[in-house]
Amino acid sequence: MAKRILSIMAILSLVVSLNTSSTFAADNSGDNASDNVAQVMNVEGKNEVSQQFVDYIGKVFKDLDGVKVVDPNGVNVTKDFIESNKSHFYSGDYKEIKQAILDKKLSLTYVEQIQDTLGTGESSKSATLASGESVTKKFYHMASDSKGHFTKEWVVTLSGSFSYGNDFRITSVNGPYADLSANFGWGISTSLSNINTGNSYSGTRASFNISYNMTATVGIPVWGPYTYGVNVDFGSFVDSFDAYPSGMQNIVQ
């Protein structure tokens, strides 16, 4: 009888030990997941500058007509941004420019000039179509995740089209359609979620907009080829722009 009692006590002790270990593991699963995400993302420091950033900023400062900078409230701060950072650009101090964007949570947009196909020798911000025009605009974003651990950059390209009559008044608008360009690293997938797009037109102006959440899914190694995904949130964003018939560009600008 004594041996039986000792055996039962040993089994109970083992069960208690296992339960305690399981509870401890569960309590620390969040911390472990966070550590694993950091290891997988292998993020460069906030002060590091990517070639994508250098190329984009180069376009911004070399063609000021195509750039627009807005703050988190949607206020146009392009002039202040250019004045405050042009000395950094000409001295090659891209880290200071990047830090300014991060500190003020600014969004940069840039429209690349498209050579006119009609042989006029002029440049246009839209390609002329038989029934109207198509427009494309690139929005550069750089932001940290919700926990402030990682800083990443991406470009959202919005494309739309519109038609108009001989008086340049808009008659219809289509789009926008969004395309994401992002490279957060190996084993990390990126996506736009909670997407809402809209358009409108008035007179000679066509307007396009999109709102979305920027998210990344990090694949954490579990065993062998198996992984589980951890979602990382980079916040919500709104991108928008206006477009006009190419014949109106000189008037608008």
What is the per-residue pLDDT across 141-179, written as a single tens digit (0 to 9) for each?
888 888 887 888 899 999 999 999 888 899 999 999 999
How many other CB atoms are found less than 10 A from the CB of residue 223?
A: 6
Alpha helix positions (H), 63-220: 78-90, 94-104
For 224, the enclosing helix (H) or strand (E) is none
126-149 exposure pattern, b = at least 16 Cβ within 10 A, e = fewer: beeeeebbbbbbbbbbbbbbeeee
* The total number of structural domains that make up the chain: 1
Predicted TM-score (pTM) above 0.85: no
User: How confident is residue 214, by pLDDT bands cut at 50, 70 and 90?
Assistant: very high
Residue 21 has pLDDT above 90, yes or no: no
pLDDT at 226: 67
| Residue 172: inside a domain | yes
What tokens appear for 164 in the block?
Answer: 């108009």
101/45: higher pLDDT: 101
In a domain? residue 246: yes
Question: Scanning the structure block, which residue is given the tokens 């605009």?
Answer: 137
Cβ-count burial of 116 within 10 angstroms (0-12 exposed, 13-18 middle, 19+ buried)?
middle
pLDDT for residue 192 is more than 90: yes
Residue 71 falls within a domain, yes or no?
A: yes
Answer yes or no: is 27 within a domain.
no
Domain assignment present for residue 167? The answer is: yes
| pLDDT confidence of residue 26 | 39
Q: Which pair of structure tokens corresponds to residue 117?
A: 């196909």
- Please give the residue range of the domain that contains residue 108: 39-252
Q: How much is the average pLDDT of 189-209? A: 95
Asked if residue 232 is part of any domain, the answer here is: yes
Q: Domain for residue 61, yes or no?
A: yes
- List % helix, strand, coil for the chain (3-state, nearest 5): 35, 45, 25
91's CB contacts (< 8 A; 6+ apart) are none
Could you tell me if residue 29 is inside a domain? no
